[in-house]
Structure 1
Amino acid sequence: VMLPSPAVVEMCGYAGFGFVILDREHGAAGMETLENQVRAADAAGIPAIVRVPSRAPDNILHAMDAGANGILVPHVITAEDAEAAVRAAHFPPRGSRGMTTTSRAGRHGLASPADYMARARSETVVICQIEDGAALQNVTAIARIPDLDAMFVGPADLSTSLGHPGEPAHPEVVAAVDRIRLEVESAGGPALANFARTESDAASLVARGFPIVCLSSSAVFSRRLADLVAGLKR
């Protein structure tokens, strides 16, 4: 979800999606809107993952304090990048995340520190996005980072990085994506995720071994509206 709208998050939940990604890398939502989007996700019964603007620890902390179920970290290139993301998302002893119970995640001061930290330890999700050619040589090492829950292929930036912007179906890009999948599976790594432009793309990715597939709500809305207008003009 790129649109800074809690209502769109609710719609995704009521429509039956398994989770929602709140995009702060490319989207327009500020922190106050993000907190309301997470609140809307809770109301609609859908887990909320925040794609943070960067892997800087303060970006990750703000998302987790807002009550997000987890984070999606863009442009992870090395195992060290992935380890840093995991540490920023988790409290000690696994990580270095700062703790306050006065945040929304801490139920505005009503959660005990012990309960809050136990809940965070069992529920926090960390996903790294592989979307740079430079990351391809490090996929196996990234996949072996403890407490990394998923690796998400970013086809738009990956195709651009490989010299084929806007061509996720280019043979070189397809080969790179398949290589990522095979290396993660061989390493016994985390879950695999990918992004699809259309429903048919999503079905194809599932068949290729990506059990988690995401769609852009903005693109879905835009396409449906354009199809509606075109149909009415006939």
Structure 2
Amino acid sequence: MSVPLRDVLRNVVKEKLARDEVVASMIVRLVRTVEIARIAASAGFDTLYIDVEHSSISLDAAGQICIAALGAGIAPFVRVPGLAPATIGRVLDGGALGIIAPHIRSAEDARKVVAAAKFPPYGERSANAGLPHLQYRNYPTDEANAALNDATLVAVMIETLEALDKVEEIAAVDGVDLLLVGTNDLTAEMGIPGRYDEPRVRAAFERIIAAARANGRHVGIGGLASRPDLTAEFVRMGARFVSTGTDLAFLMAGAAAKARQVAEIKL
């Protein structure tokens, strides 16, 4: 039976961003099995992203989690370890609906990421049939490639002073959807690691949000899981994608709370 592409391929994050809604994201660094996708969906997250840059999670495990997330109705992304087109292509073919690219320092870096993530005429991604995003069905190549181009989210990280200095140029790159601020790395480069209340941090967010708005892009907040007050402030300023923390941090927080609860029982 023929199933229309629109019924099998959706990216709920791109849809929410298009409606100017706030997206909640969870980082996966610890769990290597598919249960984490269903947990994230049941908890109410719109997306998870598997952090292959800062963990030893394999591309195979990342692909399995992505496929489970597709089935659970949330959008799976992968933060790749670098900008190599081969890695970006494998991650997307494995089931990711988007990539998060670190170490972006220029518009040229952003263009390379878009080229690796998008099929022609917008990029150089190699065609592949029967992808998990399409439920392993085969569609006409032109139809499938166009739909995948539309559904695939490209996020570039603004986490260096060089990227901040060139953020207007980066935001202008066609095919970039999201500028994700890596607040920890950015404050480290500023010489104020972890000092999120510094005026320079707020000024950086203001500049990034302004550049994104001027070019029809969105802004994401990373590294501020411990500061819900600042997260809320930057959302009110215009950021719409919130990276809420890691699976490891959630597990540690829950476990520590239960241990304290028992330790505090009065005899």
TM-score, scaled to structure 1 = 0.91
Aligned partners of 2:205 and 2:234 also within 8 Å: no
Q: Which moved more, 1:146-155 or 1:115-124?
A: 115-124
Counterpart amino acid of 2:93?
Answer: D
Q: Deviations over 1:99-126 (max 9, x none)?
A: 2225545655744423321221221111
Counterpart amino acid of 1:132?
Answer: T
Aligned partners of 1:69 and 1:124 also within 8 Å: yes
CA drift at 1:29:
1.4
| Number of corresponding residues | 233
User: Of 250, 256, 264, which aligns to 1:220?
Assistant: 250
Identity of aligned residues (%): 30
The aligned residue for residue 33 of structure 2 is: 5
CA drift at 1:231:
1.8
The aligned residue for residue 30 of structure 1 is: 58
Can you give the 5+ residue segments of structure 2 that lack an aligned partner in the other structure?
1-27
Counterpart amino acid of 1:27?
Answer: S
User: Of 206, 214, 217, which aligns to 1:190?
Assistant: 217
Aligned partners of 2:208 and 2:219 also within 8 Å: no
Can you give the 5+ residue segments of structure 1 that lack an aligned partner in the other structure?
none
Q: Which structure has the higher relative contact order (CA within 8 Å, separation 6+)?
A: 2
Residue pairs, 1:134-149, within 5 angstroms: 134-149=162-177
Counterpart amino acid of 1:231?
Answer: Q
Query: Per the alignment, do residues 27 and 10 of structure 1 end up closer, same or farther by CA in structure 2, a change over 3 Å counting?
Result: farther
Aligned mates of 1:170, 1:28 — CA distance in 2: 33
Aligned mates of 1:178, 1:130 — CA distance in 2: 13
Q: Deviations over 1:32-76 (max 9, x none)?
A: 101110111012110111111111111110111112111110121
Query: Per the alignment, do residues 167 and 119 of structure 1 end up closer, same or farther by CA in structure 2, a change over 3 Å counting?
Result: same
Pair 1:48 & 2:94 matched: no
Aligned mates of 1:94, 1:44 — CA distance in 2: 29
Aligned partners of 1:139 and 1:183 also within 8 Å: yes
Query: Per the alignment, do residues 225 and 204 of structure 1 end up closer, same or farther by CA in structure 2, a change over 3 Å counting?
Result: farther
The DSSP-based 3-state class of the residue aligned with 1:101 is coil
Query: Per the alignment, do residues 203 and 224 of structure 1 end up closer, same or farther by CA in structure 2, a change over 3 Å counting?
Result: farther
Aligned partners of 1:65 and 1:103 also within 8 Å: yes
The DSSP-based 3-state class of the residue aligned with 2:119 is coil
Q: Which moved more, 1:136-145 or 1:117-126?
A: 117-126
Q: Which moved more, 1:160-169 or 1:36-45?
A: 160-169
Aligned mates of 1:40, 1:180 — CA distance in 2: 33
CA drift at 1:151:
0.6
Residue pairs, 1:143-222, within 5 angstroms: 143-185=171-213, 187-195=214-222, 196-198=224-226, 199-216=228-245, 217-222=247-252
Aligned partners of 1:156 and 1:165 also within 8 Å: yes
Aligned mates of 1:173, 1:204 — CA distance in 2: 12
Pair 1:131 & 2:162 matched: no
Q: Deviations over 1:63-103 (max 9, x none)?
A: 11112111110121111111111111001111011122255
Aligned mates of 1:109, 1:184 — CA distance in 2: 36
Aligned mates of 2:53, 2:33 — CA distance in 1: 15
Aligned mates of 1:145, 1:33 — CA distance in 2: 31
CA RMSD of aligned residues (A): 1.9
Q: Which moved more, 1:83-92 or 1:159-168?
A: 159-168
